Amino acid sequence: MNATKLAKSSAVGTAVLERTFKEKLLTPVLIGVCFLLLTLENISFRPIKLLKSLVNDVITYSAFIINLPVNFTADTTKSFFEFLNFNIHQENKILKDQVNKLISEKNELLFFKNENDNLKRTLGIKNQGEYAALLVKVIKEDTSEFGKSFSITKGSSENLELGQAVVRNNIYLGRISEVNYLSSKVMIVTDAGSRIPIVIPSKGVNAILKGDGYSNAELLFLPTSANLDNNDQIYTSGTDGIIKEGLYVGKVIVKEDKNKKKKYSIDLGFKEHQLNYVSVLKLKR
């Protein structure tokens, strides 16, 4: 005690105390803080949740700024290679043909949609709740051994909630897994923890789609009698009551092993790392 008092009384002593703290006490103190943060987060302590939300917002937007040079380099490289594409005239012709074909298909679909609505009205079947799409920008994508997600620019300030589906051009990408005030995290369908109820309408089969943690997904709880074919379309079934039904997920790819037993893999309807803008589907109330 006397030694401490003596140490405090001089500048050299203060320096020695500071050094002792740095060398001996700092690490245990920081480890203690880590455990405290982990415990408080685990018991859903509200102030910690708010603090985490605030910290997440600041860090997410800061990471966006840090990423700017990297993104700029990646975009410039991509643009340069696109500029070097000498088949652009040919591609333009093909795309024009595809657009015309899609317009005619869209008109046909509109006809079937109206017919479907009329039949539902006649049979007295109620539609699922109406959904509103909110366009958001993707700040950054995160891939690690613990999960695959991306951050978006809207959060609880725009009434985003956990579990809401995120789509692009009506293709299911994932669901909201974390909501902060000004940003949110979306768990991609390929995340190892992602599980969504799906339906394969052409075969009348329901199953669960589970991400494999890399860049694909697999079908779980598929009925043993199910006999799927190549290019069978997969849609969300909406049986969980949160994700809208009928969102396109991907198509089935069938491979046969040595014993001619069918193995199914999924060709998802989107490519990761190419997402700029996506839409969040909010249930209208």
Partner 1 sequence: MKNFFEKIRFYIPHLLILIVIANDSLLINTWIAPGPIINLKYILLFYFCLYQPDRISVISLFFLGLVFDSLQSTPLGMTSLCFIVASKLIYFLKKKRTQANFQNEFISFGIVLAAVQILTLIIFNYFSKTSPEYSLIVINIILTLALYPLFRYILQFFFRYQI
Q: Shortest approach of partner 1 to residue 187 CB, angstroms?
A: 8
Instruction: Select 62 or 114, whichever has its Cβ closest to partner 1.
Output: 62
What is the smallest separation between the CB atom of 118 and partner 1, expressed in angstroms?
44
CB of 55 to partner 1, least distance (A): 6
State which residue, 11 or 38, has the beta carbon closest to partner 1.
Answer: 38
d(CA 212, CA 264): 13
> To the nearest whole angstrom, how small is the minimum distance from the Cβ of residue 147 to partner 1?
6
Nearer to partner 1, 21 or 111 (CB): 21
Q: For the CB of residue 192, give the shortest distance to partner 1 in the complex, in Å.
A: 4
User: In terms of CB distance, is 111 or 146 closer to partner 1?
Assistant: 146
Interface ranges with partner 1 (CB under 8 A): 26-27, 30-31, 33-39, 41-42, 48, 52, 55-56, 59-60, 62-63, 66-67, 70-71, 74, 140-149, 151, 177-178, 185, 192-193, 213-215, 272-273
In the complex with partner 1, the residue whose CB is nearer, 24 or 263, is: 24
Cβ(215)–Cβ(190) under 8 Å? yes
Residue 64 C-beta: closest distance to partner 1, Å: 9
Q: How far is CA 126 from the centre of its chain?
A: 30
Closest residue by Cα to residue 13 from 29, 25, 2: 2
When the beta carbons of 28 and 124 are compared against partner 1, the nearer one is 28
**Looking at beta carbons only, is 140 or 168 nearer to partner 1?**
140
Cβ 109 to partner 1 shortest distance, Å: 33
